[in-house]
Amino acid sequence: MPKLSVWLVKASLVHMAIGFLFGAQILHHKGIPIYPWTWRLLNPHIEIMIFGWTMQFVMGIAFWILPRFSGEGRYGRTALGWWSFGLLNIGILFNALAGWFTLDTLALAGRLCTLIAVAMFVILVWPRVKPLGGFAASQSR
Amino acid sequence: MPTLSRWFIKIGLLYFAVGLMMGAAVLAQPVMGWSPNLHLLRPVYLHFLFIGWVTQLIMGVGYWMFPKQSKEKPRGSEWLGWTVLVLLNVGLVLRAIGEPMMVLAPQASVRWIVAMASMCLLLAGWGFIINTWGRIKER
């Protein structure tokens, strides 16, 4: 597993841990109330579970599993992947905080970070969606 | 494919089918004139799809395909893996029973069912992470 995938998948597991904690607190609160502020965790819970856990996990596995190029740079333009990883997590953090504090500007900034992160990831993996070997493999950088 | 992965994936497929049926019933309710109480299933079907299907599929495939942890314990703790499977599904089923009942027949016992479901789901999620963390590594 390449280093970028390790970071993406481990970060997704951290998000999963937090997302499950928030979700469990909300569900517990539905049955037996704990803290009055519990419902404010709902939007951060959704953001963390969808983008932090599932989407980031899929990105990590895709970067690992998709066909590689031959020779140097077999995973493609990896620098794009690291930028994508950083921006994605900043975006999720912004959106989770925006959900908690109800800040529209921060939510917009977070979503823009997520959008740029996803665009970078698409550019990174697009050429790797190809048949194994053959002409495409010979086009590696 | 290990037995535990087959259980995760096959149970996940059941949640996929049942979750979609519930979702379809919720959407069809106003058109078909069915009971508005069907909308109580909304959080249940969303979690059936997201936790019961997607997350459980990831758990099953991950347990099978991730890099081996060590020669002695290639897939981490099998006991913990089975515990996660049981806790996750007990949690989801308790939630599916308890959450609508909270509105239809709010009694103390139902409140405890929902609280128990939350604990089962939390422990299942964290158990999976503990069992998987050491397998996410460069080869």
Cα angle B25-B30-B34, degrees, rounded to a multiple of 5: 60
Q: Which residues does chain A have with pLDDT short of 50? A: 141
> What is the ipTM metric for this complex?
0.94
Q: Minimal Cα–Cα distance from A43 to chain B, Å? A: 14
- Sign, CA dihedral A83-A1-A16-B27, equals positive
pLDDT of residue A95: 97
Quick count: other Cβ atoms within 10 Å of Cβ B131? 23
Partner B contacted by A34 (CB < 8 A): no
Classify B100 as helix, strand or coil. helix
Asked if B138's CB is within 8 angstroms of A1's CB, the reply is yes
Angular region, A71: left φ>0, alpha ψ -120 to 50, beta rest: left
Q: How large a percentage of chain A has pLDDT more than 70?
A: 94
Cβ-based contacts of B121 with chain A (< 8 Å)? 20, 23-24, 27
Place of tokens 């939630």: B95
Asked if B122's CB is within 8 angstroms of A20's CB, the reply is yes
The CA–CA distances, whole Å, from B92 to A83, B9, B50, B95 equal 37, 15, 11, 5
Q: What CA–CA distance (Å, rounded) separates A118 from A50? A: 14
The residue among A10, A16, A20, A75 with the most chain B CBs within 10 A of its CB, best to mutate, is: A20
Average pLDDT of chain B is 96
Per-residue pLDDT tens over the stretch B37-89: 999 999 999 999 999 999 999 999 999 999 999 988 999 999 999 999 999 99
